Chain A
Amino acid sequence: MILDDYEVSNVIQIQINSWLIMIENYLPILIVFILAAGFVFVSLILSHFVGPRIDNKVKMMPYESGVDPVGETRIRFSIRFFLIALLFIIFDIEIVFLYPWAVVFKDFLTMGSFIFFEMVVFLFILAFGFVYVWKNGALEWE
């Protein structure tokens, strides 16, 4: 199909229009991004150039409510934090499996109550893991 100049420019115009329509949906996001980045950069640059800067040994010490720092700066990291986070992730993932099951539950209910007991067995097996964690004392002291 051979297009003459008028039709070619029409086709290009339509394509640019459709592209612009698609971009328009994402325009707010671009504006938010520019505003956020702009706020950060402007405040940093302004404070660097406009604010006073006098370096003083006393001013550079870590803040400890006015008195001189005592002891090491690192805290002994208790293992309990890691354990709680780990247990949360594992049981959260178990719950993630419940969501698709809940979506198709009603459709499969016509074939009997097998679908319900399937999930009960799954949760039962994971309950063994929970009992193990409980009895081994991983849920204490926090």
Chain B
Amino acid sequence: MSNLNSLSYFWPELILTGTVLVAIVADLFYRKEDSFKVAWWVLGGLTLTMAAIRMGGSAVTDLFMGTIALDPFAEFFKVLILLSTVLVILISFKTDELKNYSVGEYFSILAIMAFGLFLMASAIDILMVYLSIEIVSIMSFFLAGYLKKSQLSNEAALKYVLYGAFSSGIMLFGFSILFGLTGSTKFFEIRQALAGLENGANLALIISAVFILAGFGYKISAVPFHFWTPDVYEGSPTTITAYLSIAPKAAGFAMLIRFFNQVMGDGTAMINDSWSALGGLPWPQLMGVLAVATMSLGNLVAIQQNSVKRMLAYSSIAHAGYMMMGLPVMSNQGIYGIMMYLVMYLFMNLGAFFVVIYIQGKTGGESYEDFNGLGWTMPFIGVVMALFMFALTGLPPTAGFIGKFYLFAAVIEAGPQFYWLAFFGALNSVISLYYYVRVVKHMYLRGERSDDVSMPSSNLVTVLLVFLAVPSLVLGVYWEPVANWINQSLVLLSSGM
């Protein structure tokens, strides 16, 4: 579809762009103390964007001459991204770390990052993939280093920038080799050209696929491209850590699914030949090994942590590993499992981070000792945090169990060659119980019990935690609306229309 006709389908992104421009200008007119008011402009814009997504028809087409796909799959991820952005903006009102900073740019950069994530979820062209990854990365470098006076934040930003720029460069080199091999940059034309390549191109194909995987793996913090995650997650402001742990991961998985489904495979169940014979390497087995390595490393190192924030960082690596289990089985069930897990993961992980943010404001620290006795002094926080911890482990009847159930079901249904994947997944879930229950242990079995029981001092925090805790529990027993939504969204744009 040409550029002019595509604009009428592009309303959510256009509204988001308008929001960013309005926020930048509004920031110029507020003094430093009032800079939080920019958040209201951004929230209004995000609400309008959600309305535009809902009101847009369910067209399945490609926009802007084949660079962006508009399909229910992209819409699903856009809704997830908007939800996480709104929640993170709301919690940023109550965080302690941003107290003496002028936060106008913080909120506008969050909106730009949401725009970049929208593009990431709908990209079907090499340049659009690189462009959107760079938009998201550059904005997250900036946000990770937002606390200019804090040494930890600066160091996190430096490590993030050097690692992220390096990984993007490697991914671009892989893309350039793929462009050279196939003569085109759109995913569908690449797939058609790849089918006609002879055996001599195998080495170049393998090298380019490995480099591209390096770039995607950096975005979803898969092993062995995860080295930036712990330091960046620990040094950034905790609200940004919460945002980074869900939104770029979701968009990164959308991009991975599109790339491997549309370029390497043929858009349908790829368990047998068309996916595994690419370049002579057994790709399903390789992805399975990477998934197991990711979840194992995340779990094993999380056990040794003394800071809850760093533990949650490593646990998010492990959760990316669980989601990567759905990639080798690139059938509809695999993608369904990844999408279901992402929905549950949003609620559980954001909830856990929001509790950490609140405790950071109360006690000034984020280690396990700061949670001592919380179960008795603040029973609301105790119950909610225990719920999030059990949900992250994957115990029934919480939402985490449903997410893991669908993933394991997809893996087992794919055939006996993937049973070892499911085995390692279950083993790692059991291992993760240790460090999640450790938080509950500190909350209820340590510290003195005192009689002054208090609720969170701010209504906004209570409302947010209830909003996140209720689905974490209810979706564990009644997940049919989510299942229907995902069923409707499992429509990917396939071979060039």
Contact = CB atoms under 8 A, between A and B. Distances in A.
B17 A136 contact: no
A132 B24 contact: yes
Q: Which of A114, A132, A135, A136 has the most CB of B within 10 A?
A: A132
Nearest to A129: B24
Given A114-B3, A125-B17, A131-B28, 13 more contacts: A114-B4, A125-B21, A128-B21, A128-B24, A128-B25, A129-B24, A131-B25, A132-B24, A132-B25, A132-B27, A132-B28, A135-B28, A136-B28
Contacts of B17: 125
Interface in B346-370: none
A93 to B, nearest CB: 13
Contacts of B27: 132
For this complex, into which size category does the number of interface residues on chain A fall? under 10
A5 interface: no
Contacts of A64: none
Interface of B: 3-4, 17, 21, 24-25, 27-28
A136 B21 CA distance: 16
Contacts of B24: 128-129, 132
A131 B28 CA distance: 9
Interface string A126-142: 00110110011000000
Report, nearest first, the 5 A-B pairs whose CB atoms are least far apart. A135-B28, A128-B21, A132-B24, A114-B4, A128-B24
6 contacts: A114-B3, A114-B4, A128-B21, A129-B24, A132-B24, A132-B27
B199 to A, nearest CB: 31
Interface in A73-132: 114, 118, 125, 128-129, 131-132
Given A135-B28, A136-B28, A118 B21 contact: no
A22 B27 CA distance: 61
Contacts of A136: 28
Nearest to B29: A135
B27 to A, nearest CB: 8
A5 B28 CA distance: 84
Interface string A8-25: 000000000000000000
A135 B105 CA distance: 14
Contacts of A129: 24
A90 to B, nearest CB: 12
Contacts of A125: 17, 21
Contacts of B28: 131-132, 135-136
A131 B27 CA distance: 11
B8 to A, nearest CB: 13
Nearest to B21: A128
B101 to A, nearest CB: 15
A114 B6 CA distance: 13
Nearest to A118: B3
A36 to B, nearest CB: 33
A131 B25 CA distance: 8
A125 B17 CA distance: 9
Nearest to B28: A135
A33 B28 CA distance: 54
A25 to B, nearest CB: 27
A125 B21 CA distance: 8
B268 to A, nearest CB: 38
A128 B21 CA distance: 7
A11 to B, nearest CB: 29
A20 B21 CA distance: 60
A118 B27 CA distance: 27
A118 B3 CA distance: 10
B13 to A, nearest CB: 13
B249 to A, nearest CB: 29
B11 to A, nearest CB: 15
Contacts of B21: 125, 128
A129 B23 CA distance: 12
B105 to A, nearest CB: 9
